[in-house]
Structure 1
Amino acid sequence: MSKKKVKKDDGIDPNAWLATYGDMVTLLLTFFVMLYSMSSIDAMKFKSISSALQTVMKGQGGKSIMEYNMNNGDLPIAGKLVPNSSKESNREQIDMINNMKDLIAENNLDGIIDVKEDSRGFIFELKDKILFESGKSNLKSASLPALDTITDFIKELPNDIIIEGHTDNVPINNSKYKDNWELSAARAYTVNNYFTKIKGLDPTRFYPTFLGDNHPLVNNDTEENRAKNRRVNILIKRNDEIDEGDAE
């Protein structure tokens, strides 16, 4: 009687790869869900990326996930989509400065207002002699055209505005102000109130601050230098700005 040969099982499961594949898909899904929960996503671009992901996972042809993003000049998914380089940001900064300078020139305010930029934003710098009498915080009538010109510029912007009062280091002690801190505070509030109460700009955008003589532009060793240090800065904050000190 002949014995049937029993084929031995080689122990290899042809479907074993499905477990690994499933784990990979689950990890990918978890990763993208995590990114989405931490992000501020452009709805249209996220839809495009989602379609691309589905296409790739189904093994179909078409654009890759990276192509969907990079064709629009954007970095891949995570967070708020931003330009692929700093060129656009630099161009916006240059445009802002040029617009400010053009505004000053068009209104013949070159000798009254300086335009500057620092790490926090863009600055209209006004010398105190244009705005105030010595030791006082009441606005001169001659300063109003300059402030009105700045008003027309900043009222169209969404940015917050910081009003900085600065003095020189010469001590002051009169019947109204006992020191430079009080004088710089009064001047900052006066300019702030002109924008918000007289011109009607949104007061929640404005932050008056007084700095006394703590942030001079130059050494207070001559009258000319002290005059440079007596100023009011109208700082247009960058949208992503974090306070990092005084304007230079």
Structure 2
Amino acid sequence: MARNKKNKGGGLKGDEWLATYADTVTLLLTFFVLLYSMSSVDAQKTKSISSAFTSLMSGQSGDSIMEYNMYNGEVPLIGGETEDPIQGGEELTEQRKLYNSIKEFVRDNNLQDVVEIVDDERGVAMQLRDNILFETSSSDLREDSKSILSKLTSVIEAIDNPVLVEGHTDNRPINTSKFPSNWELSADRAVNVVRYFVEVMGQDAKRFSATGYGEFKPVAPNDTYEDMAKNRRVDILIVTADKEES
């Protein structure tokens, strides 16, 4: 019958590491318990994330439910409301309020297919492709585009901020008797949009300015037809108050 040999010389048995290991595990467990006790679960945010995920999986539109604000970490909720996760409840910036309001307006008026809302360092821009407003190589407003501009007038007249209308083209050259280059084409398109707001819709001319940038401020490379179409656009930019003061 085999017997266990005893270490009569008082040397190491080989299992001394177990005590150190047990102490390390205990310390780690204590550390994580401490972290959990110091944290707080935001029930409202968890509910919002759950709702957004449910909408996404069911195929419903949920871009306004779960759109993360890269400026200050806000998460807009259903119906345009915004949750501010910062303790102390800092107010939304003027630009973020305007962005949310315009996006809700565009959605409520079914303009998502013709108007894109863009955050700009100067404010919020309502971006329209050139084929919505004009015929090819023309600066005359299409008749069916005027109803779109008329609806956007409601956004413009609701606030007193300056409005910058900016025309853009792709990099294909133009050389006609009326438009020797893309500078003239983009500038004339911007001017005609401003004139519609002022002369037809009765807006205050002092608030508006028109600028043509030609092909020199693209939003995409001019190497495909789709990207060229993105560059041919008119931006109706509302300058936010916080940008005016800076």
TM over 0.5: yes
Give yes or no for contact 1:120–1:243 (8 Å, CA) kept in 2: no
Instruction: Give the equivalent residue in structure 2 for 1:234.
Output: 236
Deviations 1:131-166 (A, max 9, x none): 000000000111112101110111121100000000
Deviations 1:73-124 (A, max 9, x none): xxxxxxxxxxxx992243x433321211111112111110000111100110
Give yes or no for contact 2:125–2:235 (8 Å, CA) kept in 1: yes
For structure 2, the 5+ residue unaligned runs are 1-87
Instruction: Give the equivalent residue in structure 2 for 1:87.
Output: 90
Classify the secondary structure of the residue corresponding to 1:122: strand
Q: CA RMSD in A?
A: 1.9
Change (3 A) 1:118 1:211: same
Say if 2:186 is the partner of 1:180.
Answer: no
For structure 1, the 5+ residue unaligned runs are 1-84
Instruction: Give the equivalent residue in structure 2 for 1:97.
Output: 99
Instruction: Work out the CA distance in 2 between the residues paired with 1:89 and 1:120.
Output: 16
Instruction: Give the equivalent residue in structure 1 for 2:215.
Output: 213
Q: Which amino acid aligns with 2:153?
A: T
Instruction: Work out the CA distance in 2 between the residues paired with 1:239 and 1:173.
Output: 40
Say if 2:182 is the partner of 1:163.
Answer: no
Instruction: Give the equivalent residue in structure 1 for 2:130.
Output: 128
Classify the secondary structure of the residue corresponding to 1:189: helix
Give yes or no for contact 2:168–2:212 (8 Å, CA) kept in 1: yes
Give yes or no for contact 2:95–2:240 (8 Å, CA) kept in 1: no
Q: Which amino acid aligns with 2:230?
A: K
Instruction: Work out the CA distance in 1 between the residues paired with 2:210 and 2:243.
Output: 17
Q: Which amino acid aligns with 1:138?
A: D
Structure 1 runs of 4+ off > 3 angstroms? Answer: none
Change (3 A) 1:243 1:166: farther
Within the candidate set 141, 144, 148, 1:142 is matched to 144
Instruction: Work out the CA distance in 2 between the residues paired with 1:122 and 1:147.
Output: 16
Q: Which amino acid aligns with 1:141?
A: E
Change (3 A) 1:86 1:239: farther
Give yes or no for contact 1:101–1:115 (8 Å, CA) kept in 2: yes
Instruction: Give the equivalent residue in structure 2 for 1:195.
Output: 197
Instruction: Work out the CA distance in 2 between the residues paired with 1:164 and 1:239.
Output: 19
Instruction: Work out the CA distance in 1 between the residues paired with 2:245 and 2:177.
Output: 34
Instruction: Give the equivalent residue in structure 2 for 1:117.
Output: 119
Instruction: Give the equivalent residue in structure 2 for 1:107.
Output: 109
TM-score for both structures, normalised by structure 2 = 0.61
Give yes or no for contact 2:102–2:117 (8 Å, CA) kept in 1: yes
Aligned length, in residue pairs: 159
Q: Which amino acid aligns with 1:193?
A: R
Query: Offset at 1:242?
Result: 5.8
Percent identity at matched positions? Answer: 42
Instruction: Work out the CA distance in 1 between the residues paired with 2:200 and 2:175.
Output: 29
TM-score for both structures, normalised by structure 1 = 0.61
Give yes or no for contact 1:151–1:199 (8 Å, CA) kept in 2: yes
Instruction: Give the equivalent residue in structure 2 for 1:66.
Output: none
Instruction: Work out the CA distance in 2 between the residues paired with 1:86 and 1:228.
Output: 38
